Amino acid sequence: MDLCQLCTQHDAMGGYLCPGCTKDTVARLDCLPSLYEGLLSFLAPSMAVSQGRAGKGGPAPLPVRAEILDLRGPGGMVGVVEDWLSAVRLERGMRQPTPAGSVEGRLKAAVAGLIVNMPWIAVSWPQAGTFAEEIRALTRSASSIVSPAVDEVRGTRVGTCPAQFDDGGVCGAVLRLLPGEQVVTCSWCGTSYPPATWVELKVLIDKDTRARNAA
Ligand SMILES: [Zn+2]
Ligand SMILES: [Zn+2]
C-alpha cells in the first residue's frame, strides 16, 4: 500500500492516507461544530440577529430547508461522526462511549475523539479512505449551504457593505468572503459580519441594490 486512499497520489509514508490528506481531514473535522452552528441561522432566518435596519416587520421568514434539518438531526452530522468514532474504537478494542447531552456537545466530543485517533487511522486503518471521503462530503454539503460558491483567489463577492455611518450615508464598499475565512469583513469601514448575520446581511444588500436601481 503506497497510494493514498483519498487523493490516490503516491504516499512515501506507506500508510492509508498521505500526510496532506490526514491534515485536511483533521481540518474538516475541526470545522464541523462551527458549520453545525452556522446552519442554524439558515434553518430559521427569522431568528437571525437584527442589525436594527431591517425596518417594518423585518424579513419574511423563509420556508425551512429540509436538507438543513437532515444535517442537524440525529442521523445527520452527529450520527455520521459518532458512527465513525464507534467503528474506530471497536477496531482498537476500546470502550464504546455513550453519547450524552446536547447534539452540539455530542458532535464536539465525537470530533475530538476522531482527531485523537487520526494518526492511527491514517497509518493503520484500511477504512481510512472511506472515512476521509465521507467527512469531506459532509463538510461540503454543510458549507455549500453556509457559504456560497467560493472564488478561490479573490474570494466570493457577497454584495456591497450596508453599514450605515452616523451621517446617514451607507458604506457601499464591495464585501468579499475570502477563502478560508469564516467572517465577512468590510475592508473599507471594518464592519464584520459573522455567519449568524448573513441572512440579515443579504436582506440589507438586496434592499440597497433595489434602492440604487430605482434611483
Ligand atoms: Zn492524500
Ligand atoms: Zn463597509
Write out the residues surrounding ion ligand 1, Cβ under 5 A. Answer: 4, 6-7, 18, 21
Instruction: Name which residue leads in pLDDT, 128 or 97.
Output: 128
Distance 200 CA to ligand 2 centre (A): 15
Domain limits of the chain?
19-146, 156-214
Q: For the chain, what percent of residues have pLDDT higher than 70?
A: 83
Distance 214 CA to ligand 2 centre (A): 22
Distance 29 CA to ligand 1 centre (A): 16
Write down the pLDDT at residue 108: 95
Three-state SS for 10?
Answer: strand
Distance 211 CA to ligand 1 centre (A): 49
Closest ligand, as measured to the CA of 3? 1
C-alpha distances in angstroms, 52 versus 82, 137, 169? 40, 37, 15
Distance 165 CA to ligand 2 centre (A): 9
Query: Average pLDDT in the 136-159 region?
Result: 72
Global pTM? 0.62
In this structure, the dihedral spanned by the alpha carbons of residues 136, 139, 145 and 151, taken in order and rounded to 10 degrees, is: -60
Distance 121 CA to ligand 1 centre (A): 13
Can you state the percent helix, strand and coil of the chain, rounding each to 5? Answer: 50, 10, 40
The x, y and z cell numbers of residue 76, run together, are 445527520
Per-residue pLDDT tens for 161-195? 888 888 888 888 888 877 777 788 888 888 888 87
Distance 205 CA to ligand 2 centre (A): 12
The x, y and z cell numbers of residue 99, run together, are 453519547
Closest ligand, as measured to the CA of 186? 2
Closest ligand, as measured to the CA of 185? 2
Which helix (H) or strand (E) covers residue 134, if one does?
helix 128-146
Closest ligand, as measured to the CA of 12? 1
Query: Chain-wide mean pLDDT for the chain?
Result: 81
The x, y and z cell numbers of residue 28, run together, are 474538516
DSSP 155-210: -EEEEE--PBPTTS-B--PEEEE-TT-SSEE-TTT--EE-GGGHHHHHHHHHHHHH
**For residue 55, pLDDT beyond 60:** no
